[in-house]
Amino acid sequence: MITAILFDMDGVLIDSEAYISAAAIEYFASIGTHTTPEDFIPFVGAGENRYIGKVAEKYGIQIEIEQAKLDTYDIYERLIMGKEGALPGVVRFLENAHEAGLLMAVATSADKRKMEINLAAMGLDPTWFKVLINGKDVERKKPFPDIYELAAGKLGLSAGQCIVFEDATNGVRAAKAAGSLCGALTTSFTDVQLRAEGADFIISTLDDFDDFSTIEEFNRLLLRFKAREVASQVRLNAYSPYSRFQVGAAVVSASTGTIYRGCNVENSSYGATICAERGAMMQAVAAEGDFRIDMVVVVSDDDPPAPPCALCLQVLAEFATEDTVVYLYDLQGTCRVHAFDELLPYPFIFPSERERRRS
């Protein structure tokens, strides 16, 4: 179970990438060198030594890196203060995490000076975070795992007990190398880029999270996001030459938390077509035998998000319980939530199996 959260800062808690890029461009202009935002993209999340130093190397200019950073931070503070606050949902998410008893730490590759500017710009209380780690606390910066291993250790935990929220490809690589679960935000890089580095699930901002008040509720939200990611990716494998309607599904085991996947597989003989939900159920039963469903997640390119067909609902009913929940997503992340019994209130269950279904 995840009991702690490690936050990258820039692009996760505050949308600062455009400001630090502008500050660095202004700094280089002050020493007579023209740079562009694209020059800095490869070094996002890797700390300002590389962010500024590598661009200086590209243009063949000599700088004193510590002074260059101080000058850039002065410009950055002027640009961001009063113009940028916390990203949508950040304060609500932090309040929920604090109430739930989750330990929280900031682990940013930025120097302490920039970290303090960001906290001030967001108006966040630093005491909410049990640990504040900045780039000067580790020798090896992201994509090495050191910063997340250090943050977890200072919380008295292993990295595997923590989730990392990151927005940068270097940061995702660092989180996964540390052995942490990683939720990636699409504030700086695309979902494709973040997924390629191993992100466990993708969100737009922390505002995607529903409210939660316990560690158990938080972990259930994480499980739902992981299941959505599984369904979204398996959907791309759907064989649908006739309908051109691709669907991905994930069913989650109530006993093990394992996520099983399926996509729709059409056939020239229409009756032989297998829907995504039934495909996922076949995998689940093959793995666990007598199976109980915790949740079903379905992803489709439909508005509103498509529910399982009647035949799939009947198949699912054999393994659903009174607590089974169905989450229906479209490709934009819009979600509809239903208790299973809302979608099929009166399934046919063989008389001898009715009590078993409710157990």
State the catalytic residue, choosing from 10, 15, 39, 146.
10
94, burial (CB in 10 Å: exposed 0-12, middle 13-18, buried 19+): buried
76 class by beta-carbon count within 10 Å (0-12 exposed, 13-18 middle, 19+ buried): buried
Q: Are strands 162-166 and 201-203 parallel, antiparallel or unpaired?
A: unpaired
Q: Determine the residue type at 194.
A: L
- Contact (Cβ atoms closer than 8 angstroms) between residue 20 and residue 121: no
- Which residues make Cβ contacts (< 8 Å) with residue 61, sequence separation at least 6? 31, 33
Q: Is the backbone peptide bond immediately before 304 cis, with ω within 30 degrees of 0? A: yes
* 146 catalytic residue (yes or no): no
Q: How far is CA 185 from CA 15, 29, 56, 62, in A?
A: 11, 31, 28, 35
Catalytic residue among 8, 15, 39, 200: 8
**191 classed as catalytic:** no
Identify which of 168, 164, 136 has the alpha carbon closest to the alpha carbon of residue 149: 164
**Residues taking part in catalysis:** 8, 10
